[in-house]
Amino acid sequence: MSITLIGPAQIPSMGFGTFQLEQDTVADMVAAALSEGFRHIDTAQAYENEEQVGEGLRRADVRRDEVFLTTKILPEHFSPEAFIAATEASLKRLGTDYVDLLLLHWPSRDVPIADTISALNDLISAGKVRHGGVSNFTMDMVNQAQAALNTPLAANQIELHPLIDQTRMIAHLDSKGIPVEAYSPLAQGKVMENATLREIGNAHDVSPAQIALAWILTRPMSIALPRTSNPDRLADNLRAADIVLSVEEIAHIDAVGTAEGRIVSPGTLAPEWD
């Protein structure tokens, strides 16, 4: 498998997403993903499954230091003291001394970015967090976060799949050397119905989902985080990293995305998108 390591944090380019998995399947699926060859697990305080993710990590026959583990903290905990306390609670639930990547899950409407990032700097200095990043940040917010962080910003985790046009954000992050983590890389299953992806999938004898993942990995500095509750799909999703798309195929898929393709935009959390 061509799982490359991306950016300053050396993030494995294919990660396993754990949002909206049935609670009683999380530990089994995390262990199965690791056994299949995934070495990157993405969770969040908000998914209320950190204990099960920790259980899956312990159950798998893989050392902790071989796995790249990410969690995320919600804005209600963005004052510096609350951010540190929330991270420590996440570490406890995960059953680990550190996470590889800690993300500010959504931008706060109240707490200045620099205040939260100062707490993130402290967590990194204390060895509880290896790398810091953000999620759902606009270009200006990314710049503010990078200016306040003492280490290179390891990622902006954003909605990215063939149905949404994220060209400007990707170019912005690329110009700053900041990796893009693609969440909902399968558009929560919608990519399966897209005619362009189906046609290209047929030509490669793979599914539209695999084409979507392969296309994401052709974007500069990009990482894909597919979620599945089906153990049989783990290998397909991992193997998508080996699909080689032609320049013409990439151009066809580039033309699919639109500004209206966004799926995830909760009113209480989403910023005014760029």
Q: Which residues are catalytically annotated? A: 47
**What are the φ/ψ torsions at residue 211 (nearest 5 degrees)?**
-65, -40
Instruction: Outline where the chain has alpha helix (H).
Output: 23-36, 50-59, 80-94, 113-125, 139-148, 167-176, 195-204, 208-218, 231-239, 247-254
Which stretches within 60-112 are classed as H helix? Answer: 80-94
Using the rule CB under 6 A, give the single segment among 57-65, 108-116, 178-186, 246-254 that binds ligand NAP: 178-186
Distances (CA, A) of 191 to 34, 198, 241, 263: 25, 9, 17, 12
∠ CA 237-259-206, rounded to 5°: 20
Of the candidate residues 201, 228, 238, 249, the single one contacting ligand NAP (CB under 6 A): 228
CB nearer ligand NAP, residue 97 or residue 232:
232
The answer to the question of residue 189 lying near ligand NAP (CB under 6 A) is: yes
- The smaller minimum CB distance to ligand NAP, of residues 126 and 203, is found at 203
Q: How far apart are CA 80 and CA 63, in angstroms?
A: 31
Number of residues that bind ligand NAP (CB under 6 A): 29
Least distance from ligand NAP to the Cβ atom of residue 88, Å:
21
Cα–Cα distance between 50 and 72 in angstroms, integer?
10
What Å distances lie between residue 184 and 47, 50, 58, 195, 223, CA to CA? 14, 19, 26, 19, 12
* Shortest Å, Cβ 207 to ligand NAP: 5
Does residue 196 belong to the site contacting ligand NAP (CB under 6 A)? no
Site mask for ligand NAP (CB under 6 A), range 152-171, x = bound: -----x--------------
- Only one of the segments 87-95, 116-124, 169-177, 185-193 lies at the binding site for ligand NAP (rule: CB under 6 A); that segment is 185-193
> 101 near 124, Cβ under 8 Å?
no
Task: State yes or no: residue 42 binds ligand NAP (CB under 6 A).
Answer: yes
Shortest distance in whole angstroms from residue 87 CB to ligand NAP: 16
Point out which residues bind ligand NAP (CB under 6 A).
Answer: 17-20, 42, 105, 135-136, 157, 183-189, 192, 207, 209, 225-230, 233, 236-237, 264
